[in-house]
Amino acid sequence: MSFNSRVVLVTGAAQGIGRVVARQFAENGAQVALHFHSNREAAEATFDSLAGDSHSLHQADITDATQAQQLVKAVIRQHGRLDILVNNAAIFEAHPIAKVSYDDWQGAWQRTINTNLIGAANVTFCAARQMIQQGTKSGGRIVNISSRGAFRGEPDAPAYGASKAALNAMSQSLAQALAPHNIFVYVVAPGFVETERVAYRLDGAEGDGIRNQSPLRRVAKPEEVAKTVLFLASEGTDFLTGGIVDVNGASYLRS
């Protein structure tokens, strides 16, 4: 698939899934606007690893409405347009209800919802309005990275599960709202993915148990998630708008 001349904004692209998504878009000819929040060193390393040129690097706290708006404006100033948005930025904080204090509980919920849902909503609004304004002939694309946890639950991190379930609902609502504008909205819902964030768990005592959740006896590679994102963002997938694609190796099957 080719994304020549297409401009892609990937949030939370300093490392993990976002890093690989950005790399695969760049390898397929896209101009990548790479967003990060605080890890500049990792973001710059990812930026330097992108194939081709005409990419850009942007720092923003997308939970702040003004910064989210400025992020999209900066992408437009640098690239002239925006064709594809990948909402990948997210946090995961354990806060088991039987063990944390009320203050810790409240803090985890606020931080998680602000980043995983409000931040995505902020960037999506600004990006979608830009896509409407520019009249994207081949169709604007928004791909939101959700989670298996939205469906099966996250007992130690209920705010995370709730934020991803809400992201799914937002995506499907916007798929209906934006289709008349030739903008299509998709969701990718991975299970465990082999990234830096969970390496300590996969390498620890619970690693085999996590891998054995799938009949494939492993977890996903970030490249597998990225390939799904690129497929959905490519032309010819219009009628998949509103769809949620599970990438969890049959570790959780929903009816």
Residues 160, 186, 200, 252: which is the catalytic one?
160
Active site residue 160: yes
CA distance linking residue 107 with residue 196, whole number of Å? 24
Model confidence pLDDT, tens digit, residues 158-170: 999 999 999 999 9
Does residue 145 surpass a pLDDT of 90? Answer: yes
pLDDT-wise least confident of 78-82, 199-203, 223-227, 240-244: 199-203
- Domain 7-247 CATH class label: alpha beta
Residue 220 DSSP symbol: B
Structure confidence at residue 5 (pLDDT): 87
Name the helix (H) or strand (E) containing 142.
strand 140-145
What's the Cα-to-Cα distance from 158 to each of 2, 19, 71, 161, 213, rounded to whole Å?
A: 39, 26, 29, 5, 20
**Tokens in use for 24?**
């695969």
